[in-house]
Amino acid sequence: MFRFIVRRLLQLIPTLFGLSILLFIWLHRLPGGPETAILGERGTPESRAAIRRNLGLDEPILIQYGRFMRRMLRLDLGTSISTKREVTTEFLQRFPGTVELALTAMIIAIGVGIPLGYLAARKRATILDHASVVGSLIGICIPVFFLAYVLKAIFAENLGWFPSSGRQDPTIGATRITNFFVLDGLMTREWDAAADALWHLVLPGIALASIPLAIIVRITRASVLEVLGEDFVRTAEAKGLTENVVRRRHVLRNAMLPVATTIGLLTGGLLSGAVLTETVFAFSGIGAFIAESISQRDYPVLMGFIMIIAVVYVLVNLIVDLSYSFIDPRVRVR
């Protein structure tokens, strides 16, 4: 198992190096440039050239890439062109909101998806099975922004059960420590602030969880059906093992491997920002900010945010790979 963990950690180096090259090339291929964002469309050729010279964009591409990597390693992400604030400050202010929203969505998706997928497989060809298959198809087909608008219109605006926008009621005056509003409320024992932050996460969390929930249901159902047909399961049942033992030791443990992979990919994707959901609910996260930065050609924000998000995505999937050593006994044997 130790070799498996070391090998996975070493694989991070070429992966992150390749991501940095792809990101750097992509950003330099974007139309316009930072000089357009700073000067606008009416900038003169002389002023544009001066901006590019001051930013070092007239130097060879390899020198620019080397400077880019040095700044990334020092976490010196520069200053946002649009907000005039440090990119690191912007990220630390907005990323906690995206993390809270992504975790809420994944808790809903995992908490409902895995039990429902397992029950659908165990009750194959029943009403529950058919309903789960149809429901998962509907969840995949419905656009997230449409579901978000429906939930907002019904439960926030018409019924008034949930807040319609934001991460927290600004009139509460909650203490900020980590910018994780729920965690801050728990740490400072401001229970009303923590409850209000959780209440603001319900509707966007449900909307964002729709597609991951549908995928997890289908993957779990298919994986459990495959494991149930294996010889070792029938052998365990023939030995007289109880249903709980067979389900826990043999079925779920082996069926969770593809489910864990799927959860890792989905979680990494949600942590990269939910642009549509954050926009509908005016949720302060990194997704909507990145979309805005693309339209404004805010290159420092794009470079910093996307590189950090790529690292987070890789680390999440590394954690999933390492979890195999606890789920799959074959990894420990190797």
Output the pTM of the full model.
0.79
264, 219 in Cβ contact below 8 A?
Answer: no
By the 8 A CB rule, do 242 and 82 touch? no
pLDDT tens digits along 51-62: 667 666 677 778
Residue 99, token pair as written in the block: 């993390």
Q: How confident is the model at residue 272 (pLDDT cuts 50, 70, 90)?
A: low
Per-residue pLDDT at 40: 60
Write down the mean pLDDT value for the chain.
79
Q: For the chain, how big is the Rg over CA atoms in Å?
A: 24
Q: Which of 96-100, 266-270, 322-326 holds the top average pLDDT?
A: 96-100
Q: What is the pLDDT of residue 135?
A: 85
| DSSP-assigned letters across all residues of 179-205 | S-HHHHHHHTT-HHHHHHHHHHHHHHH
What one-letter code names the amino acid at 142? I
SS3 content of the chain, % helix, strand, coil (to 5): 80, 0, 20
Position 170 pLDDT exceeds 70? yes
Percent of the chain with pLDDT over 90: 2
Q: What tokens appear for 218 in the block?
A: 């289908």
Per-residue pLDDT reduced to its tens digit, 189-219: 888 888 888 898 889 889 888 889 999 999 9
Q: How many other C-beta atoms lie within 10 A of the C-beta of residue 261?
A: 16
| Model pLDDT, residue 108 | 92
Q: What whole-number distance in Å separates Cα of residue 303 and Cα of residue 56?
A: 15
At 94 the pLDDT is: 83
**In DSSP terms, which residues pair with 79 in a beta bridge?**
86
Predicted pLDDT of residue 167: 80
